[in-house]
Structure 1
């Protein structure tokens, strides 16, 4: 008797869930239908969607850049505060053909340097104070040349735009698929309750919902992978440009290796640290930067093609990420 009562109550819950989800799906579908009915001609619609995607990506880039500079735990360095350092940056900026960027020195948790902004607005160079103790003047200069190369190529802007546009396209697809997702969710939940198995999601409707959700997630991952792949290519291009500007590829290679060793965790539980190395292909694909080994090897070959070079010791690989166009 108790089981029969449970099945009857479960069936009522299932029907109520189905009604609620289908109602929500119909409301969303009607709203989308109204928007679609009021759409302009197809070329105009495509132009509007493209403008929305580009505009939202640009706004995200500008807001993100402003937030990075506002949240820096450091100070802007005036010319009179470090005249020699500013002269070095002036010389490198003249050689790369970019506007003189602002210079910030920060106190971060790990030695690093990155560029913020782009060629049009001059941008900013941010360097952690510890690098002045860790690196030689030639290596510091190589770091600045690498970051100025990012500003020269507007890399931060281009990558942010590619990432933002990709996410906007996936977002539009998700909104269009929302009625189907709601309907399938309701059908899956209702059928499970009606069968007396509220937690069961093995039915055909649940499988269809997972397939549709998985396809949308795959689109999001694909957009991310495309942006990250471009980011890694731009890191190699910035390395090459820095080597061309300074005429010393090995200075940048030594700087990369020193930074890698300085940021490598040495405490006993290092395998659980966020700074740990990884050989996972998925993590490497999602990284914004190539491994240090790849970058050092390319710089070594470039130096050898130019003549005799100083040898730097081999070291472990490392892939790092950052919001700005970072050195690591």
Structure 2
């Protein structure tokens, strides 16, 4: 369903969510069928290819209830515990108004102004600048921000980020992103399980060894066995191709996450805060500073900005910051300040110097050589306990000084 506005975008998200969940079951059945093919080859290696295809189909029918139950169990685990899994990966912790009054009040004011139920608030102890929303229903919704973002952004910019995440919740983007993570995780888990299991012969050694297989093997002729020498190889190639295809499709479900969701969330933030410049400056500060240490690609796809880009930007889940800023300038009337340097960037810039800068001048004291490192005399003489010391060409002072001496042993 093409989304031409906010309401069609929300309806399209609901439709895609149902289609993706149905596609998850199809991919799991494909994986089970591929596994049955490999099991039949391992249990009986002298049959033609059509025998393995038919036998694997019968095995799939027998395994259908177990595959369906396993998939439903995976969805149930993800439904109830996905937030705990994300928190375990990122280190997010719940916070209260007493712990984060500034952040809590900003989020609460936005929710009150639009009648939006207050989601949970979480903090990640990280210097990265990022935020994301999670949850599949009203009781699970949560907004997570990093301490680095709170330190680098002012109140207006933090409010714009919170408005962006609230818009994701209101538009149904969060459910779509979480479901995509569930599909990629489930199929990836089964693909790895099959490859590990069937690499070690005998794990499913008796899976396809049935009474009909023994009767067929006893009645098969020697000519069929000779002609079916390549049947097992062909079936193995088909099975591996099916597993690889299912895994690839599970990874490509991120393409169902339309990039327009980020543009709409940026626009929703401006609609909530009435401040396009705050959203633009927040994006500029977060730009290329949002990488969460230890976070997987699935978690980064949930974030406000995902600095990871796919091949030729084809599989990137977020539009570039420049594109999002230009959209806000064009349609919301904001002003682009360009890339913004943060104080935390200064030490890195200094360490990247050429190294041929002049050393700092020596401290002035009663015995130092009062000559400039570049070769010239210092502009002002330094006074010490025995007179002026302006350089090697200076005349020593004769006679008592006319004023009080300055220095460690001067007259007080």
Name the TM-score class by shorter chain: 0.5 to 0.7
Residues 249-285 of structure 1 show CA distances to partners (whole Å, capped at 9, x for unaligned) of 2311211111115459xxxxxxxxxx9875832xx33
Please name the residue that 1:318 is paired with: none
> 232, 239, 248: which is aligned to 2:266?
239
Residues 38-58 of structure 1 show CA distances to partners (whole Å, capped at 9, x for unaligned) of 97xxxxx8xx98786565334
Q: Is the 8 A contact 2:129 2:149 kept in 1?
A: yes
> 86, 108, 121: which is aligned to 1:90?
108
Q: Is the 8 A contact 1:74 1:106 kept in 2?
A: yes
Distance 1:124 1:279 in 2: 27
Residues 180-231 of structure 1 show CA distances to partners (whole Å, capped at 9, x for unaligned) of xx9xxxxxxxxxxxxxxxxxxxx99767755663454234323422334415
> 231, 235, 244: which is aligned to 1:217?
244
Structure showing greater relative contact order (alpha-carbon pairs closer than 8 Å, 6 or more residues apart): 1
Distance 1:77 1:60, change over 3 A: closer
Aligned-pair distance for 1:297?
A: 1.8
Aligned-pair distance for 1:312?
A: 1.9
Please name the residue that 2:287 is paired with: 260
After superposition, where does 1:57-68 map in structure 2 within 5 Å?
A: 57-68=75-86
Residues 22-41 of structure 1 show CA distances to partners (whole Å, capped at 9, x for unaligned) of 527989975762562697xx
Are residue 112 (structure 1) and residue 130 (structure 2) matched? yes
> 151, 156, 159: which is aligned to 2:169?
151
Q: Which 4+ runs in 1 deviate beyond 6 A?
A: 24-29, 48-52, 166-172
Task: Pick the structure with greater CA Rg.
Answer: 2
Please name the residue that 1:134 is paired with: 152
Please name the residue that 2:331 is paired with: 302
Please name the residue that 2:221 is paired with: none
Taking structure 1 as the reference length, the TM-score comes to 0.59
| Alpha-carbon RMSD | 4.4
Q: Helix, strand or coil for the counterpart of 2:118? A: coil
Distance 1:168 1:239, change over 3 A: same
After superposition, where does 1:1-328 map in structure 2 within 5 Å?
A: 21=42, 23=44, 33=58, 36=61, 53=71, 56-70=74-88, 72-73=90-91, 75-162=93-180, 164=182, 209-210=236-237, 213-214=240-241, 216-230=243-257, 232-262=259-289, 280-281=311-312, 284-304=313-333, 309-313=334-338
Taking structure 2 as the reference length, the TM-score comes to 0.49
Distance 1:27 1:62, change over 3 A: farther
* Matched pairs, number: 250
Richer in helix (by share)? 1
Q: Is the 8 A contact 1:113 1:128 kept in 2?
A: yes
Q: Helix, strand or coil for the counterpart of 1:120? A: coil
Distance 1:232 1:107 in 2: 28
**Structure 2: gaps spanning 5 or more residues:** 1-39, 202-229, 292-305, 341-412
**Worse overlay, 77-86 or 142-151:** 77-86
Distance 2:238 2:69 in 1: 30
